Amino acid sequence: MMWLDTIVQGILLGGLYALFAAGLSLVFGIMRLVNLAHGDLIVLAAFLILVLVTALGLNPFVAALVAIPVMFALGFALQYLVLNRTLGPDILPPLLVTFGLSIVIQNALLERFSADSRRVSAGALETASLQLGPINIGTMPLLTFLSAIAVIVGLNLIFYRTSLGRAFRATSDDRVTAGLMGIRPDRIFAIATGLAMVVVTIAALYLGTRANFDPTIGPARLVYAFEAVIIGGLGSFWGTLAGGIIIGVAQTAGASINPEWQILAGHIAFLLVLLARPRGLFPRAVD
């Protein structure tokens, strides 16, 4: 039963990693942009939720709802005004600019909030749990996982069932021809990054309520997100969820053997999947 518990907890942890990764997957899938500031944007959103909770006394879930449009606007503006200028045949400029952005966000947060560890209080929900047969499941981890599923289903619906989703895929395929269809790639990219920031805000809600965070933890979260996206297969949202789950299960399994092995086990699982499937588990047919 110990093993079953480990696996279930790992799967639920994978939901959190999938939430970290889904925004990254979305942006990379549409514009081949690797956003090195993704983890710091999650932390930024967590601080925004913290401010809303402490200053206005909002429930964290309500605060996240308030933060979502703010983060969408921030993502739209960031892409439209800054990142669009870096896109081109050369992949280095977006890496450099988002790396710089990562440093700017970390230092701005340090300046404003100091290096203290913070936490968003979710009240009694933090310690609530459900008894499922022999296993206890934390309510927050379960909510995280269900949110990850909802986000993945939502992104898939947008991608494959809406006019906006068609425009996302067409622009990703061929920007010039998309222009001939009346699509403005600049605007499509800005909407995509705005949408990614919506997912980032949801990830930040669970990051902030489940664990301590401080201004510098973004890059460490980014690594797990990257690994989830890559082993899932670039451009596949369900693959990203599968990737998150693999890393989550590997980490909890490693930790149950020896707590020192938690992080290492996740990275080893990542390398093993890459050895077996260099293009990830569910690569998109066209690339």
Partner 1 sequence: MALLETRRLTAFYGDFQALFGVDVALDAGETVAIIGANGAGKSTLLRSISGVLANGADQVLFEGRPVGALPAPEIVALGIAMVPEGRRLFPSLSVEENLLIGRYGRAVAGAWSLEGVYDLFPILKERRRNPGTALSGGQQQMVAIGRALMSNPRVLLCDEISLGLAPVVIKDIYAAFPRIRAAGASIVIVEQDIGQALKVADRVYCMMEGRITLSGRPSEIGRDDIHAAYFGTKTP
In the complex, the residues that contact partner 1 under the rule CB under 8 A are 163, 166-167, 169-170, 172-174, 176-184, 284, 286
The CA-atom distances, in angstroms, between 35 and each of 23, 219, 259 are 10, 11, 31
Closest approach, Cβ 163 to partner 1, in A, equals 7
Tell me the sheet residues that pair with 129: 138
Residue nearer to partner 1 on the CB measure, 142 or 170: 170
For 111, phi then psi, to 5°, come to: -60, -40
Closest approach, Cβ 284 to partner 1, in A, equals 8
Closest approach, Cβ 181 to partner 1, in A, equals 5
Closest approach, Cβ 91 to partner 1, in A, equals 21
Residue nearer to partner 1 on the CB measure, 174 or 260: 174
Rounded distance between C-alpha atoms, residue 244 and residue 113, angstroms: 30
Closest approach, Cβ 178 to partner 1, in A, equals 8
Residue nearer to partner 1 on the CB measure, 29 or 266: 29
> For every residue of 149-213, which 3-state class applies, written as one string?
HHHHHHHHHHHHHCHHHHHHHHHHHCHHHHHHCCCCHHHHHHHHHHHHHHHHHHHHHHHHHHCCE
Tell me the sheet residues that pair with 213: 118
Residue nearer to partner 1 on the CB measure, 119 or 169: 169
What is the dihedral angle through the alpha carbons of 258, 263, 269, 270, rounded to the nearest 10 degrees?
-170
Rounded distance between C-alpha atoms, residue 34 and residue 25, angstroms: 9
DSSP readout, 70-109? HHHHHHHHIIIIIGGGG-SS-SHHHHHHHHHHHHHHHHHH
Residue nearer to partner 1 on the CB measure, 17 or 76: 76
Closest approach, Cβ 72 to partner 1, in A, equals 21
Closest approach, Cβ 168 to partner 1, in A, equals 9
Tell me the sheet residues that pair with 87: none
Residue nearer to partner 1 on the CB measure, 54 or 177: 177
Residue nearer to partner 1 on the CB measure, 5 or 186: 186
Q: What does the block give as tokens for 196?
A: 């990614």
Residue nearer to partner 1 on the CB measure, 115 or 180: 180
Closest approach, Cβ 135 to partner 1, in A, equals 41
The CA-atom distances, in angstroms, between 164 and each of 45, 183, 189, 239 are 25, 10, 11, 22
Grouping H, G, I as helix, E, B as strand and the rest as coil, residue 147 is helix
